[in-house]
A and B are shown apart, each in its own frame.
Chain A
Amino acid sequence: MRSSLQRRAPTLLRTISRRSQYEAAIISNAPRPAAAATRPAAVAPQKRWHSSVNADEISHFNALASTWWDPHGSSRALHLMNPLRHDFINTCRSTSLSSSTTVTPEPNSQPTAGQQQQHQAPKLRYLDVGCGGGIFAESAARLPSTHSVTAIDAAPVIIQVARQHASKDPLLAEPTKLRYINTTIENLASTLQSSPEGSKFDVVTLFEVIEHVDQPANFLSHLSNHVKPGGWLVLSTIARTWTSWFTTNFMAEDVLGIVPKGTHDWNKYINDDELRGYFSKFADEQGWDLSSLMVQGVVYVPGLGWKEVQGSEKVGNYFLGVQKKA
């Protein structure tokens, strides 16, 4: 249905009229109207796959698995975006660190005595939710400032691809550096119960995921349980605008073919003000520091890659970061 261009326009119009319903759903922590029958996961732990995971999405991404790591394949745009994710996390973290640990090095300054760079700050534990083939998880695990990366995805085939790919890099083969778990956010707490790592993380990331889940508010409240006090939740997604429908659905999928057909359901896109609404509504309950909330719009220019553009969060792709009170 999604791939049918003829039906898209009427769907689009219908969706606009339903938009207020979505907004209500996001900020009230209730399921989206389309998935209203499913109860929140916390009270339905018996189900194999929980409410936030959409079966269509799983099969779509399973089908993409083989090309995930092809630098000129269907995930090229994601590969190109990855460095910006690290830049955004650094920006977020540098605002909360008075004595910055991310010192920009001078090329001619002397290296530290040891082989390994010394970082005064404790090393970071990452949780990457919806890790896919591991583009972000691998890169985070390679950083000298990283203690460990736990990466989860609900799609079993994708997790296999991720594990296989990680075995090509001896740096990631250390079992403590990077671990992949095939699970959902709802089941993660019980999976990590016996883990020596604990179930709380310094940085919880959610890159290009929230637009693929059925109950974003419910999903976010599960996520918030895994953010340490003083830790960050960092996500990226796409604003639901005429422009984003035109660029991500029509141009990227149908015309240019940069993104595989059927990757995006425009109805599920979330605007930054909706997310701001969510975090202010649950600031006290979940412990968010609203003053830390940061949004950065990015634009993909074919041939040049991703560029940060102020204000573009209102138009298309954007990053959002928010810190928990210490």
Chain B
Amino acid sequence: MAAWHSPLGPSPHAACSSKSNILPISAVMDLLIRKRAAGYVCRSCTRQVQREIRLRRSYSSSARPDIYDVVCVGGGPAGLSLLTALRANPVTSHLRIALVEAQDLSKIKSWKLPPDRFSNRCSSLTPASVRYLDQIGAWHHLDQTRVQDYHEMQVWDGVTDARIEFDTLSSSPTSGPDTTIAYMTENLNLTSGLLKRLEELGGVSTYDNAKVEQITLGAEHPESNLDLREWPVIHLSGGKQLHARLLVGADGANSPVRSFAGIQARGWDYNRHGVVATLALEEQDFPTHQSFSPSGKIAYQRFLPTGPVALLPLPGNFATLVWSTTPENAALLKSLPPKEFIAMVNAAFRLSPVDLSYLHSPASSGTPKEEEYSWRMEHTHINPLSVPQTIIGVQENSIASFPLKFRHADTYIAERVALVGDAAHTIHPLAGQGLNQGQGDIQSLARTISYAVEHGMDIGTTMALESYLSERYAANHVVMGVCDKLHKLYSFESGPLVGLRSLGLRAVNGWEGVKSFLMRQASGGGSML
């Protein structure tokens, strides 16, 4: 069936065009017919649709379709890594590849910030992810002065103060010289580096600043004995149409590709927001930690009843904050002047949950937060080595928040469709695994495609994609389940679970075998699970 090309741009018939972006033609027609019946659609609109259908029909029987082996929708870390992997591998480098992205990629490629300013969207890359990025030749294209490795994690329970300390040297004394737990960097540093590597490799038809108007199925082309009725056709703003042997949905949590494939993503909202910010710390490093932490950098995470708060090191005396909390608290934090915001973050790593809860309540709105904080700190005893350095500054305009969700697609593959990264799964950020899961997907999908090409398979068929699904679905499910359960476990303020979980943390901390297993999982990322 031919596709209906939705009216472009601002249209007086917005009632029709606004809903038609990603629906298949049958659904659009259905919608229109129903709306027409109900009298919602004007006559000229219906006529235009009919004319477009006629046009499309004649088009598909005359012009030769523009056929790609892989069309990737989404130029984020997952999509760009996949295309880089395919281009870097001689087995798959002959594939015809297109990239579709809504943003201006040349701006991202030339992205640059002064050394004392950082983007507020950062990710923790596991050594496994970094090894893969290096293997496909992308890692050295990242600005290495904006990458921060860390070798120690401090994780503790905000209610009972039970602690688990992770450092690679003490937990795996036999491991090699590399004791890195993870590498922190800005997402833009990663995407910019991947774009530079892709430019070096060449051979990708890039459609950026492009909106996916709709995705339909192809048509029959009797004159060239072609039957593309099972092939996805991506309609871009501006009229360009791409036929895809394999359509990769790297298009995020609200993936239009996933909707086109009719794949459901199930899950729930945590009723929590992640508050992020770029922060400046009091001093650069702790000499006491240098014996087992070469960079002197430590990642801190405290589980509060409202959600975990984490401070992750960036180069210099900078750090990035990820604070999962209630939407109300998030709104309050975002509304505070810098001084008060800083006091609240320092408090989050130091004060008791009761104090914190008071600081967030309207009852405390009369006094500036920094006064409340310093007064309460006089009555709170903490070991300065067990909490992060005092925060002294917050970068202008770096405070933002986003809702936290748990979503898992029912499947990652359909005929001529594969989903990767957030399009396939959205995870609680507490373990910093989201981006690494995506990298694990890419590694598996690139390997699957390479095997299929070597064995003459049609890379778009579910037969060829099966091994990607079986490799990744269970692995992602385990990671997602663990992170979800951790979040739920720590949202209790009292009751038997609180005692059990601190007992658990203390036991884990004292039991080297279990701890090193957890460490390996954290740093091994996708390759282990």
Contacts and interface: CB of A to CB of B under 8 A. Distances in A.
The answer to whether A binds B is yes
B227 A168 contact: yes
Interface of A: 71, 79, 82-83, 86-87, 105-112, 115-117, 138-144, 146, 164, 167-170, 173
Given A105-B89, A116-B94, A173-B225, 17 more contacts: A83-B455, A86-B455, A87-B455, A107-B135, A107-B450, A108-B136, A109-B88, A111-B93, A111-B201, A115-B94, A115-B96, A141-B456, A142-B457, A143-B456, A167-B226, A168-B226, A169-B245
Interface string B455-466: 111100111001
Given A108-B88, A111-B88, A83 B136 contact: no
B457 A144 contact: no
B226 A86 contact: no
A105 B89 CA distance: 7
A316 B137 CA distance: 45
Contacts of B458: 138, 142, 169
A128 B379 CA distance: 84
Contacts of A107: 85, 88-89, 135-136, 450
Contacts of A87: 455
B454 interface: yes
Contacts of A112: 90, 93
Contacts of A82: 455-457
A168 B230 contact: yes
Nearest to A76: B463
Contacts of A167: 225-227
A79 B84 CA distance: 29
B226 A173 contact: yes
B451 interface: yes
A144 B94 contact: yes
A128 to B, nearest CB: 12
A79 B457 CA distance: 10
19 contacts: A82-B455, A82-B456, A83-B451, A107-B88, A107-B135, A107-B136, A110-B90, A112-B90, A116-B94, A138-B458, A139-B456, A140-B456, A141-B456, A146-B456, A164-B227, A167-B225, A167-B227, A168-B226, A173-B224
Interface in B200-258: 201, 203, 224-228, 230-231, 245
Contacts of B225: 167, 173
Interface string B107-142: 000000000000000000000000000111100000
B67 interface: yes
Going nearest first, the 9 A-B pairs with the smallest beta carbon separation are A139-B456, A111-B93, A83-B455, A105-B90, A142-B456, A71-B463, A167-B227, A143-B456, A107-B89
B91 interface: yes
Contacts of A109: 88, 90
Given A167-B227, A173-B224, A111 B90 contact: yes
B138 to A, nearest CB: 10
A142 B69 CA distance: 12
Interface in B418-435: none
Nearest to A117: B94
A315 to B, nearest CB: 25
Given A112-B93, A167-B225, A173-B226, A83 B457 contact: yes
A83 B461 CA distance: 14
Contacts of B137: 108
A141 B455 CA distance: 10
B271 to A, nearest CB: 40
B204 to A, nearest CB: 11
B199 to A, nearest CB: 14
A85 to B, nearest CB: 9
A86 B451 CA distance: 11
Contact of A139 (B85, B203, B455): B455
Contacts of A168: 226-228, 230-231
Contacts of A105: 89-91
Contacts of A79: 463
A106 B230 CA distance: 33
Nearest to B230: A168
A169 B218 CA distance: 12
